[in-house]
Structure 1
Amino acid sequence: MLIFGIPLQLLSTQILLGLINGAFYAILSLGLAIIFGLLNIVNFAHGAFYMMGAFGALLMLDHFAMNYWLALLVVPLTIGLLGCVIERLILRRIYDLDHLYGMILTFGMGLVIVGLFRNQYGATGLPYSMPAALQGGYNLGFMFLPASRAFVILASVAVCLVTWLVIEKTRLGSWLRAATEKPELTEAFGINVPLLITLTYGFGVALAGFAGVLAAPIYSVNPMMGSDLIIVVFAVVVIGGMGSISGAILTGFMLGLVEGVTKVFWPQASTTVIFVIMAIVLLIRPAGLFGKQA
Protein backbone atom coordinates (compact mmCIF):
# COMPACT_ATOMS: atom_id res chain seq x y z
CA MET A 1 0.00 0.00 0.00
CA LEU A 2 1.31 3.43 -1.00
CA ILE A 3 0.67 6.80 0.71
CA PHE A 4 1.82 9.77 -1.39
CA GLY A 5 3.94 7.29 -3.32
CA ILE A 6 5.64 6.01 -0.12
CA PRO A 7 5.20 2.40 1.06
CA LEU A 8 3.08 2.24 4.21
CA GLN A 9 5.63 0.07 6.02
CA LEU A 10 8.42 2.61 5.42
CA LEU A 11 6.25 5.53 6.53
CA SER A 12 5.02 3.75 9.67
CA THR A 13 8.58 2.72 10.57
CA GLN A 14 9.79 6.30 10.36
CA ILE A 15 6.79 7.51 12.37
CA LEU A 16 7.72 4.96 15.05
CA LEU A 17 11.33 6.15 15.06
CA GLY A 18 10.04 9.72 15.29
CA LEU A 19 7.90 8.81 18.29
CA ILE A 20 10.89 7.20 20.00
CA ASN A 21 13.03 10.28 19.41
CA GLY A 22 10.09 12.43 20.52
CA ALA A 23 9.85 10.43 23.75
CA PHE A 24 13.44 11.31 24.63
CA TYR A 25 12.96 14.91 23.49
CA ALA A 26 9.89 15.21 25.74
CA ILE A 27 11.53 13.83 28.90
CA LEU A 28 14.75 15.83 28.47
CA SER A 29 13.03 19.08 27.53
CA LEU A 30 10.62 18.60 30.45
CA GLY A 31 13.57 18.49 32.85
CA LEU A 32 15.09 21.58 31.25
CA ALA A 33 11.77 23.45 31.41
CA ILE A 34 11.32 22.63 35.10
CA ILE A 35 14.82 23.81 35.98
CA PHE A 36 14.53 27.00 33.95
CA GLY A 37 11.03 27.72 35.22
CA LEU A 38 12.11 27.84 38.88
CA LEU A 39 15.85 28.50 38.87
CA ASN A 40 16.08 30.60 35.67
CA ILE A 41 19.15 28.58 34.74
CA VAL A 42 19.69 27.18 31.25
CA ASN A 43 21.12 23.83 32.31
CA PHE A 44 23.72 23.01 29.66
CA ALA A 45 24.87 20.05 31.78
CA HIS A 46 21.59 18.25 31.06
CA GLY A 47 23.09 16.13 28.30
CA ALA A 48 25.86 15.00 30.64
CA PHE A 49 23.29 13.83 33.21
CA TYR A 50 21.47 11.94 30.44
CA MET A 51 24.75 10.22 29.53
CA MET A 52 25.39 9.45 33.20
CA GLY A 53 22.00 7.74 33.39
CA ALA A 54 22.95 5.37 30.57
CA PHE A 55 26.37 4.67 32.08
CA GLY A 56 24.80 4.26 35.50
CA ALA A 57 22.54 1.48 34.18
CA LEU A 58 25.53 -0.18 32.49
CA LEU A 59 27.77 0.01 35.56
CA MET A 60 25.01 -1.22 37.85
CA LEU A 61 24.54 -4.24 35.60
CA ASP A 62 28.26 -5.02 35.26
CA HIS A 63 29.40 -4.43 38.85
CA PHE A 64 26.31 -4.98 41.00
CA ALA A 65 24.23 -7.34 38.82
CA MET A 66 21.37 -4.85 39.07
CA ASN A 67 18.74 -5.56 36.42
CA TYR A 68 17.24 -2.97 34.10
CA TRP A 69 14.02 -2.51 36.06
CA LEU A 70 15.81 -1.79 39.31
CA ALA A 71 18.19 0.57 37.49
CA LEU A 72 15.17 2.56 36.25
CA LEU A 73 14.51 3.44 39.89
CA VAL A 74 17.96 3.55 41.49
CA VAL A 75 19.94 5.42 38.81
CA PRO A 76 17.58 8.44 38.47
CA LEU A 77 17.40 8.73 42.27
CA THR A 78 21.20 8.67 42.50
CA ILE A 79 21.59 11.31 39.78
CA GLY A 80 18.87 13.38 41.41
CA LEU A 81 20.76 13.32 44.72
CA LEU A 82 23.93 14.34 42.87
CA GLY A 83 21.98 17.21 41.32
CA CYS A 84 20.83 18.34 44.78
CA VAL A 85 24.43 18.41 45.99
CA ILE A 86 25.52 20.40 42.92
CA GLU A 87 22.72 22.90 43.44
CA ARG A 88 23.55 23.40 47.12
CA LEU A 89 27.33 23.66 46.69
CA ILE A 90 27.71 25.37 43.30
CA LEU A 91 24.60 26.77 41.63
CA ARG A 92 23.25 28.50 44.74
CA ARG A 93 26.25 30.84 44.70
CA ILE A 94 25.33 32.40 41.35
CA TYR A 95 21.59 33.06 41.68
CA ASP A 96 22.16 36.77 42.24
CA LEU A 97 24.36 37.07 39.16
CA ASP A 98 23.39 37.49 35.51
CA HIS A 99 21.79 34.42 33.86
CA LEU A 100 24.81 34.16 31.58
CA TYR A 101 26.91 32.97 34.51
CA GLY A 102 24.62 30.00 35.13
CA MET A 103 24.69 29.06 31.46
CA ILE A 104 28.50 29.20 31.31
CA LEU A 105 28.88 27.33 34.61
CA THR A 106 26.61 24.45 33.61
CA PHE A 107 28.21 24.30 30.15
CA GLY A 108 31.64 23.94 31.73
CA MET A 109 30.33 21.42 34.25
CA GLY A 110 28.93 19.32 31.42
CA LEU A 111 32.27 19.40 29.58
CA VAL A 112 34.08 18.23 32.72
CA ILE A 113 31.67 15.33 33.28
CA VAL A 114 31.86 14.20 29.65
CA GLY A 115 35.65 14.53 29.68
CA LEU A 116 35.97 12.35 32.77
CA PHE A 117 33.81 9.60 31.27
CA ARG A 118 35.58 9.83 27.92
CA ASN A 119 38.96 9.53 29.61
CA GLN A 120 37.79 6.46 31.54
CA TYR A 121 35.76 4.61 28.89
CA GLY A 122 36.93 6.04 25.56
CA ALA A 123 34.79 7.42 22.76
CA THR A 124 33.48 4.10 21.40
CA GLY A 125 30.07 2.81 22.38
CA LEU A 126 29.50 0.09 24.96
CA PRO A 127 26.64 -2.43 24.60
CA TYR A 128 23.86 -2.88 27.14
CA SER A 129 22.07 -6.21 26.90
CA MET A 130 18.37 -5.99 26.17
CA PRO A 131 16.20 -7.16 29.11
CA ALA A 132 14.38 -10.41 28.43
CA ALA A 133 10.98 -8.79 28.97
CA LEU A 134 11.68 -6.26 26.21
CA GLN A 135 12.87 -8.73 23.60
CA GLY A 136 10.59 -9.57 20.69
CA GLY A 137 7.70 -7.40 19.64
CA TYR A 138 4.22 -7.17 18.19
CA ASN A 139 3.08 -7.71 14.61
CA LEU A 140 0.65 -4.89 13.79
CA GLY A 141 0.03 -6.10 10.26
CA PHE A 142 1.53 -3.10 8.50
CA MET A 143 4.71 -3.09 10.66
CA PHE A 144 6.57 -4.90 13.43
CA LEU A 145 6.66 -2.97 16.74
CA PRO A 146 9.63 -3.94 18.96
CA ALA A 147 8.65 -4.30 22.61
CA SER A 148 11.60 -2.17 23.74
CA ARG A 149 10.49 0.77 21.58
CA ALA A 150 6.89 0.48 22.74
CA PHE A 151 8.05 0.53 26.36
CA VAL A 152 10.11 3.70 25.80
CA ILE A 153 7.11 5.52 24.35
CA LEU A 154 4.72 4.36 27.09
CA ALA A 155 7.18 5.10 29.89
CA SER A 156 7.85 8.58 28.51
CA VAL A 157 4.13 9.38 28.23
CA ALA A 158 3.51 8.11 31.77
CA VAL A 159 6.38 10.08 33.34
CA CYS A 160 5.50 13.27 31.47
CA LEU A 161 1.81 12.98 32.39
CA VAL A 162 2.50 12.34 36.08
CA THR A 163 4.97 15.24 36.21
CA TRP A 164 2.47 17.58 34.58
CA LEU A 165 -0.27 16.52 36.98
CA VAL A 166 1.97 17.05 40.02
CA ILE A 167 3.06 20.52 38.91
CA GLU A 168 -0.30 21.76 37.64
CA LYS A 169 -2.84 20.00 39.86
CA THR A 170 -1.32 19.48 43.32
CA ARG A 171 -0.47 21.66 46.31
CA LEU A 172 3.24 20.96 45.79
CA GLY A 173 2.94 22.27 42.26
CA SER A 174 1.21 25.43 43.49
CA TRP A 175 4.08 25.97 45.94
CA LEU A 176 6.59 25.59 43.10
CA ARG A 177 4.75 28.09 40.92
CA ALA A 178 4.43 30.51 43.82
CA ALA A 179 8.13 30.18 44.64
CA THR A 180 8.91 30.99 41.01
CA GLU A 181 6.85 34.17 40.87
CA LYS A 182 6.98 35.49 44.46
CA PRO A 183 9.73 33.73 46.47
CA GLU A 184 9.78 36.27 49.34
CA LEU A 185 6.01 36.13 49.79
CA THR A 186 6.06 32.32 49.58
CA GLU A 187 8.67 32.14 52.35
CA ALA A 188 6.49 34.41 54.48
CA PHE A 189 3.89 31.61 54.54
CA GLY A 190 6.44 29.22 56.07
CA ILE A 191 7.39 27.38 52.87
CA ASN A 192 11.07 26.45 52.58
CA VAL A 193 11.81 27.96 49.16
CA PRO A 194 15.56 27.04 49.10
CA LEU A 195 14.64 23.40 49.73
CA LEU A 196 12.06 23.53 46.93
CA ILE A 197 14.69 24.92 44.58
CA THR A 198 17.17 22.18 45.52
CA LEU A 199 14.60 19.42 45.04
CA THR A 200 13.47 20.95 41.75
CA TYR A 201 16.97 20.87 40.28
CA GLY A 202 17.44 17.34 41.58
CA PHE A 203 14.18 16.22 39.99
CA GLY A 204 15.02 17.91 36.70
CA VAL A 205 18.35 16.11 36.35
CA ALA A 206 16.75 12.87 37.61
CA LEU A 207 14.47 13.03 34.56
CA ALA A 208 17.58 13.24 32.38
CA GLY A 209 19.01 10.22 34.19
CA PHE A 210 15.76 8.31 33.68
CA ALA A 211 15.91 9.05 29.95
CA GLY A 212 19.49 7.79 29.92
CA VAL A 213 18.46 4.46 31.47
CA LEU A 214 15.68 4.15 28.89
CA ALA A 215 18.21 4.78 26.12
CA ALA A 216 20.83 2.28 27.34
CA PRO A 217 19.37 -0.88 25.69
CA ILE A 218 18.41 0.99 22.49
CA TYR A 219 21.40 3.18 21.71
CA SER A 220 25.10 2.63 22.18
CA VAL A 221 26.24 3.84 25.61
CA ASN A 222 29.03 6.35 25.01
CA PRO A 223 30.26 9.59 26.62
CA MET A 224 29.14 11.74 23.68
CA MET A 225 25.53 10.51 23.51
CA GLY A 226 24.25 13.48 25.52
CA SER A 227 26.29 16.04 23.60
CA ASP A 228 24.80 14.85 20.32
CA LEU A 229 21.24 15.11 21.62
CA ILE A 230 21.16 18.15 23.87
CA ILE A 231 21.39 20.73 21.05
CA VAL A 232 18.19 19.38 19.52
CA VAL A 233 16.52 19.28 22.95
CA PHE A 234 17.34 22.95 23.54
CA ALA A 235 15.72 23.76 20.20
CA VAL A 236 12.63 21.82 21.33
CA VAL A 237 12.49 23.81 24.58
CA VAL A 238 12.80 27.12 22.72
CA ILE A 239 10.02 26.16 20.31
CA GLY A 240 7.71 25.04 23.12
CA GLY A 241 8.50 28.05 25.29
CA MET A 242 11.18 28.34 27.95
CA GLY A 243 9.75 27.19 31.27
CA SER A 244 6.51 25.82 29.80
CA ILE A 245 5.83 22.32 31.12
CA SER A 246 3.05 21.40 28.70
CA GLY A 247 4.96 23.07 25.87
CA ALA A 248 8.03 20.92 26.50
CA ILE A 249 6.01 17.69 26.46
CA LEU A 250 3.79 18.40 23.45
CA THR A 251 6.56 19.98 21.38
CA GLY A 252 8.93 17.11 22.13
CA PHE A 253 6.58 14.47 20.72
CA MET A 254 5.41 16.70 17.87
CA LEU A 255 8.91 17.52 16.64
CA GLY A 256 9.97 13.89 16.94
CA LEU A 257 7.14 12.99 14.55
CA VAL A 258 8.04 15.85 12.20
CA GLU A 259 11.64 14.69 12.14
CA GLY A 260 10.59 11.10 11.40
CA VAL A 261 8.24 12.03 8.57
CA THR A 262 10.84 14.38 7.07
CA LYS A 263 13.26 11.44 6.80
CA VAL A 264 10.78 9.78 4.44
CA PHE A 265 10.02 12.68 2.12
CA TRP A 266 13.26 14.67 2.33
CA PRO A 267 16.04 12.75 4.17
CA GLN A 268 18.63 15.50 3.68
CA ALA A 269 16.51 17.96 5.67
CA SER A 270 15.79 15.66 8.63
CA THR A 271 18.80 16.90 10.64
CA THR A 272 17.89 20.56 10.23
CA VAL A 273 14.09 20.64 10.11
CA ILE A 274 13.76 21.25 13.87
CA PHE A 275 16.10 24.24 13.69
CA VAL A 276 14.21 25.64 10.71
CA ILE A 277 10.99 25.36 12.71
CA MET A 278 12.71 27.06 15.65
CA ALA A 279 13.74 30.01 13.47
CA ILE A 280 10.21 30.38 12.09
CA VAL A 281 8.61 30.18 15.54
CA LEU A 282 11.01 32.76 16.99
CA LEU A 283 10.21 35.14 14.15
CA ILE A 284 6.46 34.81 14.67
CA ARG A 285 6.27 34.22 18.43
CA PRO A 286 9.55 34.89 20.27
CA ALA A 287 8.26 33.41 23.55
CA GLY A 288 7.62 30.04 21.89
CA LEU A 289 4.40 28.23 21.05
CA PHE A 290 3.31 27.77 24.66
CA GLY A 291 5.46 30.38 26.41
CA LYS A 292 4.13 33.51 28.04
CA GLN A 293 4.72 36.73 26.17
CA ALA A 294 6.69 39.32 28.15
Structure 2
Amino acid sequence: MNLYLLQLINGIGIGMIYFLLAVGLSIVFGLLRFVNFAHGAFYLMGAYACYAFMQLGGSFWLALLFGPVVVGFCAWVAERLLLRRIYDLPHEFHILFTLGLAWAIQELVILYWGPVGVNVSPPAELNGVVMWGAFIYPKYRIFLIAFSALLALVIWLLLERTRLGSIIRAGSESPEMVTLLRINVYKIFGLTFALGAATAGLAGVLAAPLRGVEPFMGIEALAVAFVVVVVGGMGSFSGALLGGLLVGIVQSVMSTLWPQGASLMIYVAMALVLLLRPDGLMGRSQ
Protein backbone atom coordinates (compact mmCIF):
# COMPACT_ATOMS: atom_id res chain seq x y z
CA MET A 1 0.00 0.00 0.00
CA ASN A 2 2.88 2.38 0.80
CA LEU A 3 4.18 1.95 -2.75
CA TYR A 4 0.92 3.18 -4.31
CA LEU A 5 0.68 6.03 -1.80
CA LEU A 6 4.24 7.00 -2.72
CA GLN A 7 3.39 6.97 -6.42
CA LEU A 8 0.24 9.00 -5.80
CA ILE A 9 2.24 11.70 -4.01
CA ASN A 10 4.90 11.56 -6.73
CA GLY A 11 2.12 12.05 -9.27
CA ILE A 12 0.90 15.15 -7.46
CA GLY A 13 4.42 16.62 -7.55
CA ILE A 14 4.87 15.83 -11.24
CA GLY A 15 1.35 17.09 -11.91
CA MET A 16 2.14 20.46 -10.33
CA ILE A 17 5.14 20.83 -12.66
CA TYR A 18 2.86 19.95 -15.57
CA PHE A 19 0.40 22.57 -14.35
CA LEU A 20 3.06 25.29 -14.31
CA LEU A 21 4.19 24.17 -17.75
CA ALA A 22 0.67 24.15 -19.22
CA VAL A 23 -1.03 27.13 -17.57
CA GLY A 24 1.00 29.66 -19.56
CA LEU A 25 0.32 27.83 -22.82
CA SER A 26 -3.40 27.73 -22.02
CA ILE A 27 -3.66 31.41 -21.09
CA VAL A 28 -1.63 32.56 -24.11
CA PHE A 29 -3.90 30.65 -26.47
CA GLY A 30 -7.01 31.83 -24.64
CA LEU A 31 -6.06 35.50 -24.96
CA LEU A 32 -3.98 35.67 -28.14
CA ARG A 33 -5.46 32.68 -30.05
CA PHE A 34 -1.78 31.99 -30.76
CA VAL A 35 -0.47 28.42 -31.16
CA ASN A 36 2.94 28.48 -29.49
CA PHE A 37 5.11 25.46 -30.31
CA ALA A 38 8.11 27.19 -28.71
CA HIS A 39 6.61 26.77 -25.23
CA GLY A 40 8.66 23.63 -24.53
CA ALA A 41 11.81 25.56 -25.43
CA PHE A 42 11.08 28.04 -22.61
CA TYR A 43 10.90 25.08 -20.22
CA LEU A 44 14.27 23.95 -21.62
CA MET A 45 15.70 27.44 -21.06
CA GLY A 46 14.51 27.42 -17.45
CA ALA A 47 16.19 24.07 -16.77
CA TYR A 48 19.48 25.20 -18.29
CA ALA A 49 19.26 28.54 -16.49
CA CYS A 50 19.14 26.55 -13.25
CA TYR A 51 22.19 24.54 -14.33
CA ALA A 52 24.07 27.66 -15.43
CA PHE A 53 23.41 29.53 -12.18
CA MET A 54 24.72 26.60 -10.16
CA GLN A 55 27.77 26.14 -12.41
CA LEU A 56 28.66 29.81 -11.95
CA GLY A 57 28.72 29.36 -8.20
CA GLY A 58 25.21 30.58 -7.52
CA SER A 59 22.59 28.72 -5.57
CA PHE A 60 19.42 26.89 -6.54
CA TRP A 61 17.46 29.64 -4.79
CA LEU A 62 18.95 32.31 -7.04
CA ALA A 63 18.11 30.16 -10.05
CA LEU A 64 14.56 29.77 -8.77
CA LEU A 65 14.26 33.54 -8.44
CA PHE A 66 16.07 34.80 -11.54
CA GLY A 67 15.73 31.87 -13.98
CA PRO A 68 12.05 32.55 -14.78
CA VAL A 69 12.81 36.29 -15.03
CA VAL A 70 15.50 35.64 -17.66
CA VAL A 71 13.20 33.29 -19.61
CA GLY A 72 10.28 35.73 -19.40
CA PHE A 73 12.46 38.61 -20.62
CA CYS A 74 13.75 36.58 -23.59
CA ALA A 75 10.16 35.62 -24.46
CA TRP A 76 9.07 39.27 -24.21
CA VAL A 77 11.85 40.31 -26.63
CA ALA A 78 10.92 37.49 -29.04
CA GLU A 79 7.25 38.47 -28.90
CA ARG A 80 8.00 42.15 -29.45
CA LEU A 81 10.46 41.71 -32.31
CA LEU A 82 9.19 38.57 -34.06
CA LEU A 83 5.91 36.99 -32.98
CA ARG A 84 3.88 40.21 -32.99
CA ARG A 85 4.27 40.31 -36.77
CA ILE A 86 2.42 37.01 -37.32
CA TYR A 87 -0.54 37.22 -34.90
CA ASP A 88 -2.99 37.93 -37.71
CA LEU A 89 -1.73 35.11 -39.93
CA PRO A 90 -3.36 31.64 -39.99
CA HIS A 91 -2.43 29.12 -37.29
CA GLU A 92 -0.22 27.22 -39.74
CA PHE A 93 2.20 30.16 -39.73
CA HIS A 94 2.16 30.25 -35.92
CA ILE A 95 3.09 26.57 -35.78
CA LEU A 96 5.88 26.77 -38.39
CA PHE A 97 7.41 29.96 -36.97
CA THR A 98 7.38 28.85 -33.33
CA LEU A 99 8.70 25.40 -34.27
CA GLY A 100 11.61 27.13 -35.96
CA LEU A 101 12.18 29.27 -32.86
CA ALA A 102 12.11 26.16 -30.65
CA TRP A 103 14.65 24.35 -32.82
CA ALA A 104 16.90 27.43 -32.87
CA ILE A 105 16.89 27.57 -29.06
CA GLN A 106 17.55 23.83 -28.85
CA GLU A 107 20.51 24.05 -31.26
CA LEU A 108 21.97 27.01 -29.35
CA VAL A 109 21.80 24.94 -26.15
CA ILE A 110 23.59 22.05 -27.90
CA LEU A 111 26.26 24.39 -29.29
CA TYR A 112 27.01 25.85 -25.86
CA TRP A 113 26.48 22.93 -23.44
CA GLY A 114 26.75 19.93 -25.78
CA PRO A 115 24.24 17.17 -26.61
CA VAL A 116 24.78 15.12 -23.44
CA GLY A 117 22.52 15.61 -20.44
CA VAL A 118 23.84 16.61 -17.01
CA ASN A 119 22.57 16.23 -13.47
CA VAL A 120 21.51 19.08 -11.19
CA SER A 121 21.70 18.57 -7.45
CA PRO A 122 18.91 19.80 -5.17
CA PRO A 123 19.91 22.47 -2.64
CA ALA A 124 21.71 21.21 0.43
CA GLU A 125 18.80 22.26 2.65
CA LEU A 126 16.50 19.89 0.75
CA ASN A 127 18.79 16.87 0.54
CA GLY A 128 17.72 13.78 2.43
CA VAL A 129 14.34 12.40 3.36
CA VAL A 130 11.52 12.91 5.84
CA MET A 131 10.23 9.89 7.76
CA TRP A 132 6.70 9.32 9.04
CA GLY A 133 6.88 5.92 10.66
CA ALA A 134 7.50 3.46 7.83
CA PHE A 135 6.81 6.07 5.16
CA ILE A 136 9.90 7.80 3.73
CA TYR A 137 9.78 10.66 1.26
CA PRO A 138 12.44 13.01 -0.23
CA LYS A 139 12.53 16.55 1.16
CA TYR A 140 12.86 18.11 -2.28
CA ARG A 141 9.65 16.51 -3.53
CA ILE A 142 7.78 17.80 -0.47
CA PHE A 143 9.14 21.28 -1.16
CA LEU A 144 8.12 20.93 -4.81
CA ILE A 145 4.49 20.13 -3.95
CA ALA A 146 4.21 22.89 -1.32
CA PHE A 147 5.94 25.54 -3.43
CA SER A 148 3.93 24.71 -6.56
CA ALA A 149 0.68 24.85 -4.58
CA LEU A 150 1.67 28.32 -3.32
CA LEU A 151 2.47 29.39 -6.89
CA ALA A 152 -0.91 28.10 -8.06
CA LEU A 153 -2.57 30.30 -5.43
CA VAL A 154 -0.50 33.32 -6.53
CA ILE A 155 -1.41 32.77 -10.20
CA TRP A 156 -5.08 32.39 -9.28
CA LEU A 157 -4.99 35.64 -7.30
CA LEU A 158 -3.26 37.36 -10.24
CA LEU A 159 -5.96 36.21 -12.65
CA GLU A 160 -8.95 36.74 -10.35
CA ARG A 161 -8.02 39.72 -8.16
CA THR A 162 -6.00 42.09 -10.34
CA ARG A 163 -6.77 44.42 -13.23
CA LEU A 164 -4.35 42.51 -15.47
CA GLY A 165 -6.16 39.29 -14.62
CA SER A 166 -9.50 40.88 -15.48
CA ILE A 167 -8.17 41.97 -18.87
CA ILE A 168 -6.73 38.51 -19.56
CA ARG A 169 -10.02 36.83 -18.62
CA ALA A 170 -12.00 39.30 -20.69
CA GLY A 171 -9.68 38.74 -23.61
CA SER A 172 -10.07 34.99 -23.29
CA GLU A 173 -13.83 35.40 -23.60
CA SER A 174 -13.71 38.04 -26.36
CA PRO A 175 -10.41 39.51 -27.63
CA GLU A 176 -12.38 42.25 -29.41
CA MET A 177 -13.65 43.49 -26.05
CA VAL A 178 -10.11 44.36 -24.94
CA THR A 179 -9.67 46.57 -28.01
CA LEU A 180 -13.00 48.32 -27.49
CA LEU A 181 -11.96 49.27 -23.94
CA ARG A 182 -9.10 51.32 -25.42
CA ILE A 183 -6.48 49.12 -23.82
CA ASN A 184 -3.07 48.77 -25.46
CA VAL A 185 -3.61 45.19 -26.57
CA TYR A 186 -0.06 44.67 -27.79
CA LYS A 187 1.34 45.64 -24.40
CA ILE A 188 -1.04 43.18 -22.70
CA PHE A 189 -0.24 40.50 -25.28
CA GLY A 190 3.50 40.92 -24.72
CA LEU A 191 3.18 40.83 -20.94
CA THR A 192 0.91 37.78 -21.06
CA PHE A 193 3.28 35.96 -23.40
CA ALA A 194 6.24 36.76 -21.11
CA LEU A 195 4.34 35.57 -18.01
CA GLY A 196 3.38 32.34 -19.78
CA ALA A 197 7.00 31.72 -20.75
CA ALA A 198 8.19 32.57 -17.22
CA THR A 199 5.90 29.92 -15.70
CA ALA A 200 7.28 27.37 -18.18
CA GLY A 201 10.80 28.44 -17.23
CA LEU A 202 9.91 28.09 -13.56
CA ALA A 203 8.67 24.55 -14.26
CA GLY A 204 12.04 23.84 -15.89
CA VAL A 205 13.97 25.12 -12.86
CA LEU A 206 11.89 22.96 -10.51
CA ALA A 207 12.18 19.90 -12.74
CA ALA A 208 15.98 20.12 -13.15
CA PRO A 209 16.92 18.48 -9.81
CA LEU A 210 14.35 15.72 -10.43
CA ARG A 211 15.33 14.62 -13.93
CA GLY A 212 18.51 16.47 -14.84
CA VAL A 213 18.75 18.64 -17.92
CA GLU A 214 19.30 17.66 -21.56
CA PRO A 215 18.77 19.49 -24.85
CA PHE A 216 15.75 17.48 -25.99
CA MET A 217 13.63 17.82 -22.86
CA GLY A 218 11.66 20.68 -24.43
CA ILE A 219 10.10 18.36 -27.03
CA GLU A 220 8.76 16.01 -24.35
CA ALA A 221 7.55 18.97 -22.29
CA LEU A 222 5.68 20.47 -25.23
CA ALA A 223 3.82 17.21 -25.88
CA VAL A 224 2.82 16.89 -22.22
CA ALA A 225 1.75 20.54 -22.04
CA PHE A 226 -0.62 20.11 -24.97
CA VAL A 227 -2.06 16.95 -23.41
CA VAL A 228 -2.70 18.82 -20.15
CA VAL A 229 -4.30 21.75 -21.97
CA VAL A 230 -6.54 19.44 -24.03
CA VAL A 231 -7.56 17.41 -20.96
CA GLY A 232 -8.22 20.45 -18.78
CA GLY A 233 -9.74 22.74 -21.39
CA MET A 234 -8.16 25.50 -23.47
CA GLY A 235 -7.87 28.87 -21.71
CA SER A 236 -8.88 27.56 -18.27
CA PHE A 237 -6.72 28.02 -15.15
CA SER A 238 -8.66 25.40 -13.17
CA GLY A 239 -8.53 23.11 -16.21
CA ALA A 240 -4.73 23.38 -16.39
CA LEU A 241 -4.48 22.54 -12.67
CA LEU A 242 -6.90 19.61 -12.86
CA GLY A 243 -5.38 18.35 -16.12
CA GLY A 244 -1.83 18.58 -14.79
CA LEU A 245 -2.69 16.64 -11.63
CA LEU A 246 -4.63 14.01 -13.58
CA VAL A 247 -1.85 13.46 -16.12
CA GLY A 248 0.86 13.41 -13.42
CA ILE A 249 -1.00 10.89 -11.25
CA VAL A 250 -1.85 8.63 -14.21
CA GLN A 251 1.76 8.62 -15.38
CA SER A 252 3.17 8.02 -11.89
CA VAL A 253 0.78 5.22 -10.87
CA MET A 254 1.07 3.49 -14.24
CA SER A 255 4.87 3.49 -13.91
CA THR A 256 4.30 0.93 -11.13
CA LEU A 257 1.45 -1.04 -12.71
CA TRP A 258 2.79 -1.02 -16.30
CA PRO A 259 6.19 0.72 -16.57
CA GLN A 260 6.49 0.25 -20.35
CA GLY A 261 3.14 1.94 -20.96
CA ALA A 262 3.26 4.78 -18.43
CA SER A 263 3.79 7.49 -21.05
CA LEU A 264 1.28 5.89 -23.39
CA MET A 265 -1.45 6.01 -20.75
CA ILE A 266 -1.47 9.80 -20.57
CA TYR A 267 -2.50 9.86 -24.23
CA VAL A 268 -5.13 7.20 -23.55
CA ALA A 269 -6.47 9.41 -20.75
CA MET A 270 -6.55 12.36 -23.16
CA ALA A 271 -8.47 10.31 -25.73
CA LEU A 272 -11.03 9.26 -23.11
CA VAL A 273 -11.55 12.86 -21.99
CA LEU A 274 -12.01 13.98 -25.60
CA LEU A 275 -14.61 11.27 -26.18
CA LEU A 276 -16.60 12.28 -23.10
CA ARG A 277 -15.95 16.04 -23.05
CA PRO A 278 -14.53 17.35 -26.34
CA ASP A 279 -13.88 20.81 -24.82
CA GLY A 280 -11.90 19.38 -21.89
CA LEU A 281 -12.84 18.83 -18.26
CA MET A 282 -13.17 22.55 -17.47
CA GLY A 283 -13.31 23.98 -20.97
CA ARG A 284 -16.10 26.05 -22.46
CA SER A 285 -17.73 25.24 -25.76
CA GLN A 286 -16.16 27.39 -28.49
Shorter-chain TM-score range: over 0.9
Structure 1 partner of 2:143: 151
Q: Is the 1:12–1:143 contact (alpha carbons within 8 Å) kept by the matching residues of 2?
A: no
Matches within 5 A, 1:210-289: 210-289=202-281
Find the aligned partners of 2:9 and 2:157 in 1 and give their Cα distance. Answer: 26
Structure 2 partner of 1:23: 16
Matched, 1:85 2:85: no
Find the aligned partners of 1:169 and 1:112 in 2 and give their Cα distance. Answer: 37
Deviations along 1:108-134, whole A, 9 cap, x unmatched? Answer: 211111122123222221122321111
Matched, 1:11 2:42: no
Give the aligned residue type for 1:196: I
Deviates more, 1:185-194 or 1:168-177: 185-194
Deviations along 1:235-276, whole A, 9 cap, x unmatched? Answer: 111111111111001110122112222223333331211111
Q: What SS does the aligned partner of 1:144 have?
A: strand
Q: What SS does the aligned partner of 1:113 have?
A: helix
Structure 2 partner of 1:4: none
How many residue pairs are counted as aligned between the two chains?
286
Task: Report deviation, 1:42.
Answer: 2.1
Q: Is the 2:67–2:201 contact (alpha carbons within 8 Å) kept by the matching residues of 1?
A: yes
Relative to structure 1, the CA distance from residue 254 to residue 184 in structure 2 (aligned partners, 3 Å threshold; closer, same or farther) is closer
Q: Is the 2:30–2:171 contact (alpha carbons within 8 Å) kept by the matching residues of 1?
A: no
Find the aligned partners of 2:77 and 2:168 in 1 and give their Cα distance. Answer: 19
Find the aligned partners of 2:31 and 2:127 in 1 and give their Cα distance. Answer: 40
Q: Is the 1:236–1:274 contact (alpha carbons within 8 Å) kept by the matching residues of 2?
A: no
Relative to structure 1, the CA distance from residue 223 to residue 190 in structure 2 (aligned partners, 3 Å threshold; closer, same or farther) is same
Could you tell me the TM-score, scaled by structure 1's length?
0.91
Give the aligned residue type for 1:33: S
Structure 2 partner of 1:199: 191
What RMSD over aligned residues (CA atoms) do the two structures have, in Å?
1.7
Relative to structure 1, the CA distance from residue 41 to residue 142 in structure 2 (aligned partners, 3 Å threshold; closer, same or farther) is farther
Deviations along 1:27-86, whole A, 9 cap, x unmatched? Answer: 1011111111111122211111111111111112222x2211121111111111111111
Q: Is the 1:287–1:293 contact (alpha carbons within 8 Å) kept by the matching residues of 2?
A: yes
Find the aligned partners of 2:224 and 2:181 in 1 and give their Cα distance. Answer: 40
Task: Report deviation, 1:184.
Answer: 4.8
Task: Report deviation, 1:172.
Answer: 2.0
Could you tell me the TM-score, scaled by structure 2's length?
0.94
Matches within 5 A, 1:133-148: 133-148=125-140
Deviates more, 1:252-261 or 1:72-81: 252-261
Task: Report deviation, 1:185.
Answer: 4.3
Find the aligned partners of 1:61 and 1:108 in 2 and give their Cα distance. Answer: 29
Task: Report deviation, 1:155.
Answer: 1.5
Q: Which runs of 5 or more structure 1 residues have no equivalent in the other structure?
A: 1-7
Find the aligned partners of 1:60 and 1:219 in 2 and give their Cα distance. Answer: 17
Q: Is the 2:26–2:240 contact (alpha carbons within 8 Å) kept by the matching residues of 1?
A: yes
Q: Is the 1:30–1:160 contact (alpha carbons within 8 Å) kept by the matching residues of 2?
A: no
Matched, 1:292 2:284: yes
